[in-house]
Structure 1
Amino acid sequence: MAKSITARELRHHWVNKQEIALLDVREEGPYADSHPLFAISVPVSEIEMKLPALVPRLSAPIVVYDDGEGYAQRAIPRINNLGYQDVAVLEGGLSAYALVGEVYRDVGVPSKAFGELVEAINHTPSVSAREAKKILDDSASDVAVLDGRRFVEYNTMSIPRGRSCPNGELLYRFFEAVPSPETTVIVNCAGRTRSIVGTQTLINSGIPNKVVALRNGTIGWTLEGLELDTKKTERVAQPSAEASQRAREYASSWAEHVGVTLIDSDRLGQFAAESNDRSLYLLDVRDPEEYALGHPAGFTNAPGGQLVQATEEWVGVRGARLVLYDTDGVRARMTASWLVQLGWQVYVLDDGATVPDSLPAAVAPSWSPPKQHTITMEEFQGLSESKTVIDLVRSPVYRKGHIPGAWFASGPELARDLKTLPPGDGPIVLTSTDGGVAAANIEEARKSVGDSRQIFYLEGGTAAWVAAGHQLDTEERWLSEPVDVYKRPYEGTNNAREAMQGYLDWEYGLVAQLANDGIAGFHVVRHRR
């Protein structure tokens, strides 16, 4: 019987800045409908694939919950099998937590709530979509539009005259993008948070330009009936040595004002040596393309803008230590300045320090796919036409293409929904993108099917099918309801007006929710202008 923890005991950890990881083991859809502030989404079917990177220390305290579906009890042995030593169930689940703490909609909520707080405290300047369009339509206006999202989001849709400059790169590339102090700068994102944080990043640094956020981002632009550009590829270039040095001076001043701590190689080694007793995340905050060209051993790429926007994508343990790395003295400092305000214990590796070739590392969680019940691509192709293929990828990936004839199934509900398959006596083959999730869920599937049918997982997954030269199909077969992914009303170009406006209305209320909740630990540092 797994041990339990009450909601009040859980909240005590957050208030006192003690390490703890809270896992919502439902699908992302239900998670996005309602969850505690610092919960992270790790569906029970994806534990083996997702959890080791999010919780790298085996002795870190982990709490799991659901909303009465029974996933939490199924998750406990899977987590224990990875080697974790301190796992508890949230007593009463989500409904019990809601009696003592606020529950939140959407994803990336801590950062979005923090962004609203930043605007409220600093009165971050902004312009409406109509005001921005009037400025942009004036051929005499000296204005630069910097899009603070990831490049892929910018490429999908963007504001006219916008250039891609993700928030983590804003100050680093600023003087290359905007050489004149007389130029007005508009920072935009899809909704609100990255516009606010990006604008405030530049204001906080002390640059002389006038900087404003595009209020409500591309959502606000769309709601005003204005046209967005699509498939744009304009990026702000890497800065010259002179532009980079100017940015460094501004970044150093602001980071010192906020209280960002720099560490040397010896202190990094000390943290690494302590990582079996204190969770440690080593994060390289540079652009992914730079990271791919070379990076220190042990450091994971977490581009600074996205690390601030969605910290839970890389860091699962609230209260952990974070060490940030760059090569310029700008990006790590500015990223850290925000993470400090978000309540993280964060350090910056001084850009004069070297990273040892082999840092001590915590004993890592481990999982190996079962050797039994696997089937190779050659064996798969030799199966009879009576075989049934079940795909455990996320539903948007399934819609884009899957092995012909494959059914989509929800991982958490795989055992239940296999029982609803049309009658047949041929073998069942599980697949997923690379076969990992399929392998992790083969035992659940075997328990459901019993001895009635043979069941395997495809070695290498759907990637092996493509590598063998086969085409993917888009004809859909739904064994499970696709609640695995939350449809974000700020991504893509075909969102309903009601969903976009509802999202904005929700964001406006986040500061009140934070105040009522009382566990965030945020502290906004006021800018010095």
Structure 2
Amino acid sequence: MLTHGQPNMTKTTTPQEVRRHWTNGLEIALLDVREEGPYAEAHPLFALTVPVSEVERKLPALVPRLSVPIVVYDNGEGYVERAARRIAALGYGNVRILEGGLAGYASVGEIYRDVNVPSKAFGELVEAIRATPSLAPRDVKQLIDSNSDVVVLDTRRFEEYNTMSIPRGRSCPGGELLYRIFAAAPSPDTTVVVHCAGRTRSLLGTQSLVNASIPNRVVALRDGTIGWTLDGLQLDTGKTEQVPLPSEDVARRARSYAVSWAEHVGVPVVRADQLLALAAQHDRTLYLLDVRDPSEYAQGHHTQFASAPGGQLVQATDEWIGVRGARAVLYDTDGVRARMAATWLLQLGWEVYVFDYEDTLPESIPRPDAPSRPSVSSSSPYGIAPADLRELENATVIDLARSPAYRKGHVPGAWHASGPELARDLKTVKGEGPIVLTCPDGLVAAANVDDARKAVSRRVLYLEGGTAAWTAVNQPLETEVRWLSKPVDVYKRPYEGTGNDREAMEAYIQWEHELVAQLANDGVAQFHVVRDNRKA
């Protein structure tokens, strides 16, 4: 059993106990403390990717309550004791190691590949149960070419749309679809084509509009831009067209559809006093999430609500909500977006509430004891300023940035290292001068100084403020790469960007199609797809 108290590094729990928590709706966080690359090759369904070197940065937001049961695992690399120690140092009091690691779990449960798997598997389940309408890429192209009364809505983040999109596509991220649909397609005769890069956001976006019972014909582009590319069709690049925010009259119309569907699904709406009552229950984890577009969030928001754009929240719930069995309250200013996101989260097995957009959020919302947030003291004996780095003789700079950020630019001469394998790989660094750790903002570098100092006899420092501080004082960056470790920190998604390998794209689509069977064999998802049996 998972119990409370000061953790001992030898304490463990079984895979069966983790699965029992999932099937009974009990709170638990399962952490894969390897890099994202190995995680994407194989992990349990609700596992989170939190590399041991990034615990201090990633974990407080994902697991905001100190007494939550936390279980860590690797695949025999030897990270778990270090991870448990660092998690406990943040104040968490119920940390365990998974017996047998990944291999032990595989003996009792399904192992999945890729990332954001719960949402992707759920999307496939939705299509299987609701028969979500879709068209093949060449049928969509014919529709676009022959019929002017059609709108194409790209449900991905704007940055993904800008990288590549299908002809006539406009950016309308998934959480915005119903909110903006009547601004994009004011006529009920307009056909609406919804798409993403692969399948999940296409399917859930299309089904959202179908669930809302809007009068338009709505179809998904089958297999998204991957399907479009595999069919030999050309993509556009660099497009910037976005569906505008709706007028109040148009938003009111969308709201009537959202309310009807959310009430059918059973989404509860709470006011300020009810929110405060939920927050006061410190034996439960509560996430406060603002699902509006990031540009609106940037213009003003409640400081205790994190930005979680609705479409991305549904697509990648594990990037915001780390504790399976937890609660969430969603917020918007229109009564549409929070409701629609909540309908999906509820079906995904979460306890979710929508804050009444007509009420006023409390200025302060009580929160339970929270984990220590990472900070870097200016008085640390190991921190140095950019000016000091320039004066160091025979220094070796080690960059702990994610490899795509490292490739874009780093301190001249810096080597890229895998955070989890830093202690191992530092021993291969030649020279006798000081080692200086850096990263984009200095936080991950500072958090790993102690482990680095234990690994080598050389002096180990970190760059205060990281690479950002370096460029802030007009110091140059370079793009020549030097790999101290194999760059496995980021999984190369076959559905993002251009130039993806054809076999990888085909394999990815095939894998998505097989997820429903894998879910059924696993038996722990607790998903429930709501059918529309409302009377017309």
Q: Does the TM-score normalized on the shorter chain lie above 0.5?
A: yes
Matched, 1:160 2:167: yes
Task: Summarize the alignment of residues 411-430 of structure 1 with structure 2, pairs less than 5 Å apart.
Answer: 411-422=419-430, 424-430=431-437
Separation in 2 of the partners of 1:97 and 1:193?
27
Once the 2 structures are TM-superposed, how far is the Cα of residue 368 of structure 1 from its aligned partner? 3.7
Separation in 1 of the partners of 2:375 and 2:191?
54
Separation in 1 of the partners of 2:212 and 2:54?
40
CA contact (8 A) 1:297 1:357 kept: no
Match of 1:382 in 2: 391
Separation in 1 of the partners of 2:451 and 2:180?
50
Once the 2 structures are TM-superposed, how far is the Cα of residue 271 of structure 1 from its aligned partner? 1.4
Task: Summarize the alignment of residues 484-523 of structure 1 with structure 2, pairs less than 5 Å apart.
Answer: 484-523=489-528
Matched, 1:182 2:204: no
Once the 2 structures are TM-superposed, how far is the Cα of residue 426 of structure 1 from its aligned partner? 1.4
Separation in 1 of the partners of 2:90 and 2:97?
17
CA contact (8 A) 1:2 1:87 kept: no
Runs of 4 or more off by more than 2 Å in structure 1? 367-370
Matched, 1:241 2:227: no
CA contact (8 A) 2:375 2:443 kept: no
- The one-letter amino acid paired with 1:135 is L
Match of 1:122 among 127, 130, 135: 130
Task: Summarize the alignment of residues 272-351 of structure 1 with structure 2, pairs less than 5 Å apart.
Answer: 272-274=279-281, 276-351=282-357
Q: Secondary structure at 1:328's aligned position in 2?
A: coil
Once the 2 structures are TM-superposed, how far is the Cα of residue 526 of structure 1 from its aligned partner? 1.5
Match of 1:37 in 2: 45
Once the 2 structures are TM-superposed, how far is the Cα of residue 141 of structure 1 from its aligned partner? 3.7
- The one-letter amino acid paired with 1:346 is V
Separation in 1 of the partners of 2:292 and 2:189?
28
Match of 1:354 among 332, 337, 360: 360
Once the 2 structures are TM-superposed, how far is the Cα of residue 356 of structure 1 from its aligned partner? 1.1
Separation in 1 of the partners of 2:432 and 2:102?
40
Once the 2 structures are TM-superposed, how far is the Cα of residue 369 of structure 1 from its aligned partner? 3.4
Matched, 1:75 2:83: yes
Separation in 2 of the partners of 1:266 and 1:325?
15
Greater shift, 361-370 or 499-508, is seen at 361-370
Q: Secondary structure at 1:509's aligned position in 2?
A: helix
Match of 1:112 among 120, 128, 137: 120
Once the 2 structures are TM-superposed, how far is the Cα of residue 527 of structure 1 from its aligned partner? 3.0
Separation in 1 of the partners of 2:301 and 2:217?
35
Separation in 1 of the partners of 2:204 and 2:375?
41
* Deviation per residue, 1:406-441 (Å, 9 max, x gap): 00000000000011112x121110000000000000
Once the 2 structures are TM-superposed, how far is the Cα of residue 362 of structure 1 from its aligned partner? 1.6
Separation in 1 of the partners of 2:79 and 2:532?
45
Match of 1:478 in 2: 483
CA contact (8 A) 1:297 1:358 kept: no
CA contact (8 A) 2:68 2:92 kept: yes
CA contact (8 A) 1:427 1:455 kept: yes
Match of 1:260 in 2: 267
- The one-letter amino acid paired with 1:361 is R
- The one-letter amino acid paired with 1:175 is F
Q: Structure 2: any 5+ residue segments left out of the alignment?
A: 1-8
Separation in 1 of the partners of 2:144 and 2:214?
22
TM (normalized to structure 2)?
Answer: 0.97
TM (normalized to structure 1)?
Answer: 0.98
Once the 2 structures are TM-superposed, how far is the Cα of residue 192 of structure 1 from its aligned partner? 0.3
How many residues are aligned here? 523
Once the 2 structures are TM-superposed, how far is the Cα of residue 135 of structure 1 from its aligned partner? 0.9
Separation in 2 of the partners of 1:298 and 1:169?
22
Separation in 2 of the partners of 1:198 and 1:251?
14
- The one-letter amino acid paired with 1:383 is L
CA contact (8 A) 1:391 1:398 kept: yes
Separation in 1 of the partners of 2:389 and 2:286?
42
RMSD: 0.9
Match of 2:6 in 1: none
Once the 2 structures are TM-superposed, how far is the Cα of residue 24 of structure 1 from its aligned partner? 0.2
Separation in 2 of the partners of 1:417 and 1:117?
43
Once the 2 structures are TM-superposed, how far is the Cα of residue 114 of structure 1 from its aligned partner? 0.2
Match of 2:532 in 1: 527
CA contact (8 A) 1:18 1:318 kept: yes
Q: Secondary structure at 1:146's aligned position in 2?
A: strand
* Deviation per residue, 1:50-109 (Å, 9 max, x gap): 000000000011000001111111101100000001000111100010011001000000
Q: Secondary structure at 1:291's aligned position in 2?
A: helix
Once the 2 structures are TM-superposed, how far is the Cα of residue 297 of structure 1 from its aligned partner? 2.9
